[in-house]
Structure 1
């Protein structure tokens, strides 16, 4: 089921000299890069659509962690690793979280932005999912079957969330909250389960403000928002290393998602470039 032999053939065919490139590609399906991509898109405009995909990502985190914990299937043996990878030996191996996340985020953007009939958009999303999935096999942290099932599960989850939310991010975060509660029971108070719970709480608290956020008036204001928003995210991620108590982590993750969604309020009050925009 997990396609161990084809996985070994893929690993053996890939030259270890390009390991750094594979590590870079695999991060496109991790936690940090996809969430940063979604945050920048949100800060740059079309907030409701981007917030919807953020809710998909938070909800998906809880669902996948519960599934992996319930199945309890291990990762490939340590001798399958292309290079030593800190933290990549932790957790369960089936299905692949990176393949699932890449499908939900990049596929979710295609759906949320109504680009499902755009061949280039579909090809771009499919390519990203395929590259992230293959990177996990090449690195030796998943079998080929793990990533295939992860991507397929991502497609099914995306279809279900699209039907359930009907384009409303608040519904997405409500689903995320319910899934996160189940995950905490199933998987315990791990960092990932607390991230899902905190992210859902932060999203629920902030999503109602999305349609009332100040509009961006100039490109300068957009650039400042992206810069200020990124600094805020970095500061909260730095604080994460200092926090150990579960309730504090939940609050921190709630603040992280809340900051992403509400940062336009802080920058909008500065009225950056407003005078130039009125003259234009």
Structure 2
């Protein structure tokens, strides 16, 4: 049974090739490198009033866990991507071709969409945990970004519609579930990296030893160790005073 519903052929027939490059650039809002830079920047410039460092660390830990979950499910289902792409890389001239290859193409398995999971988790958690403007405004912006990322994955032809819908639903369920779990503990950041480490172990078992699975588990473990070290330092400083 195919996951396609015939929508991509209709999209491909009406969109000009230039749209492929724009979609490839917009899709980076849900890419690992972009959300990594975003979270590092938020942590670096946090002022603990609007942007709390502990909240950013919590989002980072849960994001790593979400990536591990998405990768594990991809390898558990082993469902392929659509056979047709919106544009071929060789349609673009000069330096544009490698840019499109880097941003608008994808390999590996297609279900669920990792970009949909990542964008839903990152922007949903930021809307949940930061204090910028109103909650309604934050969730509105998050929903708009997630919708854009999901749309670009379908338009580029690297995912079926069901892949991004399932990815967004998985990300939303993950955000809701971890919110409840972390509301029961005092140190949300440490708990978030603990969750990520646990998921990383499961992902390693499902996927096997690959650069992605090792990197995810290693990053989660380093984050957990760092949080535990900071917790011990703070406890020592409190006892000394």
Please confirm whether the aligned pair reaches a TM-score higher than 0.5, indicating the same fold: yes
- Is 1:100 the equivalent of 2:106? no
The one-character-per-residue Cα deviations of 1:64-94 (angstroms, maximum 9, x if unpaired) are 11111111100011x3342333694421001
Structure 1 contact 22–135 (Cα < 8 Å) conserved: yes
Over 3 Å counting, the alpha-carbon distance change for 1:152 and 1:63 in structure 2 is same
- Alignment of 1:174 onto 2:194: yes
Structure 2: any 5+ residue segments left out of the alignment? 47-51, 90-100, 235-241
Structure 1 length as normaliser, TM-score? 0.70
Structure 1 counterpart of 2:221:
201
Within-5 A mapping of 1:204-219: 204-209=224-229
Q: 1:113 matched to which residue of 2?
A: 130
Given the superposition, is the C-alpha separation of residues 47 and 212 from structure 1 closer, same or farther in structure 2, using an over 3 Å criterion?
Answer: farther
Instruction: State the number of aligned residues.
Output: 213
Runs of 4+ in 1 over 4 A off after TM superposition: 114-117, 209-214
Residue of structure 1 equivalent to 2:66: 60
Deviation at 1:102, TM superposition (A): 0.3
Q: 1:212 to 1:157 in 2, by over 3 A?
A: same
CA deviation profile, 1:138-191 (whole Å, cap 9, x unmatched)? 111001111111101100011111122236111111111111111111111222
Which fold has the larger relative contact order, with Cα–Cα distance below 8 Å and residues 6 or more apart in sequence? 2
TM superposition shift of 1:6: 2.1
Report whether the alignment pairs 1:126 with 2:143. yes
2:81 pairs, out of 75, 78, 84, with: 75
8 Å CA contact 1:115–1:121 kept in 2: the answer is yes
1:121-200 map, 5 Å: 121-166=138-183, 168-200=188-220
Contact 1:110 1:116 survives alignment (8 Å): no
Show structure 1 runs of 5+ residues with no match: 215-280
Tell me the alpha carbon deviations over residues 223-252 of structure 1, each in whole angstroms, 9 at most, x when there is no partner: xxxxxxxxxxxxxxxxxxxxxxxxxxxxxx
Q: What is the alpha-carbon distance in structure 2 between the residues aligned to residue 19 and residue 7 of structure 1?
A: 13
Change (3 A) 1:2 1:211: same
